[in-house]
Amino acid sequence: MVGRSTSPDRGGTVTGEHRVLEAGAGRIHVVERGTGPLVLLVHGFPESWYSWRRQLPVLAAAGYRAVALDVRGYGRSSRPQDPAAYRMLDLISDNVSVVRALGEDSAVIIGHDWGATIAAQSALVEPGMFRAVGLLSVPYTPPGGPRPSEVFARMGGEQEFYVSYFQRPGRAEAEIEPDARGWLAGIYSALSADTMPAADAADPHFVAPGGTLRERFPSGVLPFWMSQDDLDFYAAEFERTGFTGALNRYRNMDRDWEDLAAYAGSPIKQPSLFLGGTRDASTMWLSDAIDAYPQTLPNLTGSHLLDCGHWIQQERPDEVNRLLLEFLDNL
């Protein structure tokens, strides 16, 4: 362990004990609450450990050791300069290092958005370490298939899919970083059920030729689940770190495809749970993956679609907490 702190988070509440642990990236910042079986919580883009603020106290009160981390490149965790240092195998190694640094031999791993993919592939590659897995918003798809960059390049016709837009270093940063707070407010609103654009509006997941993602985001409105203090917390994190570390995750998808070729088509055999949103494009685009769960997640204990957008554990915290506890209590 490198260090620890119980300083208040923005808004004056102590969500848990802040610790910085030695890991493959150099250091990984975690927030820990409770005692009992370890539950590791992995966030997505563009978020932080703070995305789990409504789960940490509930899991702790139910008898679990809940630990939310900052993925490498985010928050107080290390931010390697080399873009290739954000490949999936390195993130899996970070998760293993965190479990060991916490003095544990195994954990249940739960992830949202990119965190869901990180959690799933951690369970796939390290089944002895991760004894169960919960996936939020992004369904499990086994490694393999066509090269990811080729798939994303074909999406959208004349428009550019956001994953392709994120590929070139510096390009998305030039859009986002001059006004990180405003951009974050826009993406959180664009993908939240109560503030997302109407069905007939331009899709915020795509970029028009010569355009930006920002121009398709709602402006002047926050989703019901996000306070100004919440937005300030996220903005302060990214204003300090920039977005390159976070965006480098997208810039390694072809490397991941190569690195994980030995696992092509492989199921995750541990107990698993999936929670998605009925108005979340990430869930709906991968409906075929959900249909394939009898083969890809043979020990799935539950698959639930909630009435919400992409930010599921923040939009529907009570329902998510109930379903997570049912899953955990029955392991």
Per-residue pLDDT at 331 exceeds 80: yes
Residue 53's beta-bridge partner residues?
Answer: none
Instruction: Give the whole-angstrom CA distance, residue 269 versus residue 97.
Output: 22
- Which run of H or E residues covers position 20? strand 17-21
Per-residue pLDDT at 323 exceeds 50: yes
In 3D, which of 118, 163, 165, 157 has the Cα closest to residue 137? 118
Q: How far is CA 257 from the centre of its chain?
A: 19
Instruction: Give the whole-angstrom CA distance, residue 110 versus residue 117.
Output: 10
User: What is the chain's mean pLDDT, rounded?
Assistant: 94
For residue 25, what pLDDT is reported? 66
User: What residue spans define the domains of the chain?
Assistant: 3-329
Question: Are 251 and 169 within 8 A, CB to CB?
Answer: yes
Structure-token match 């799935």, residue found: 300
Helices 88-101 and 114-125, axial angle in degrees (round to 10) = 70
Residue % of the chain over a pLDDT of 70: 95
For the ranges 1-10, 105-114, 120-129, 233-242, which has the lowest average pLDDT?
1-10
Report which residue type is found at 324: L
Instruction: Give the whole-angstrom CA distance, residue 326 versus residue 331.
Output: 9
For residue 7, what pLDDT is reported? 43
Is the entire prediction scored with pTM above 0.85?
yes
For residue 242, what pLDDT is reported? 98
Catalytic entry in 113, 230, 259, 280? 113
Q: Give the tokens for residue 297.
A: 């997640």
Question: Are 86 and 73 within 8 A, CB to CB?
Answer: yes
For residue 15, what pLDDT is reported? 76
For residue 180, what pLDDT is reported? 98
Backbone angles phi, psi at 17, to 5 degrees: -85, 125
Report which residue type is found at 216: R
For residue 224, what pLDDT is reported? 97
Q: Mean pLDDT across the stretch 214-226?
A: 96
Residue 4 pLDDT level (bands cut at 50, 70, 90): low
Q: Specify whether the backbone of 140 is left (phi greater than 0), alpha (psi in -120 to 50) or beta.
A: beta
Outline where 127-227 has alpha helix (H): 148-153, 162-165, 171-176, 180-190
Q: How many CA atoms lie within 13 A of 138 on its CB side?
A: 18
Q: Mean pLDDT across the stretch 266-295?
A: 97
For residue 26, what pLDDT is reported? 87
For residue 10, what pLDDT is reported? 47
Residue 233 pLDDT level (bands cut at 50, 70, 90): very high
CATH of domain 3-329: 3.40.50.1820
CA angle 316/31/231 to nearest 5° reads 50
SS3 state at 240 = helix
- Which run of H or E residues covers position 290? helix 287-291
Identify whether 113 is a catalytic site residue.
yes
Please write the tens of the pLDDT for every residue from 11-57. Answer: 434 579 999 999 876 899 999 999 999 999 999 999 999 999 999 99
Per-residue pLDDT at 1 exceeds 80: no
Q: Mean pLDDT across the stretch 66-84?
A: 97
Per-residue pLDDT at 253 exceeds 70: yes
Residue % of the chain over a pLDDT of 90: 92
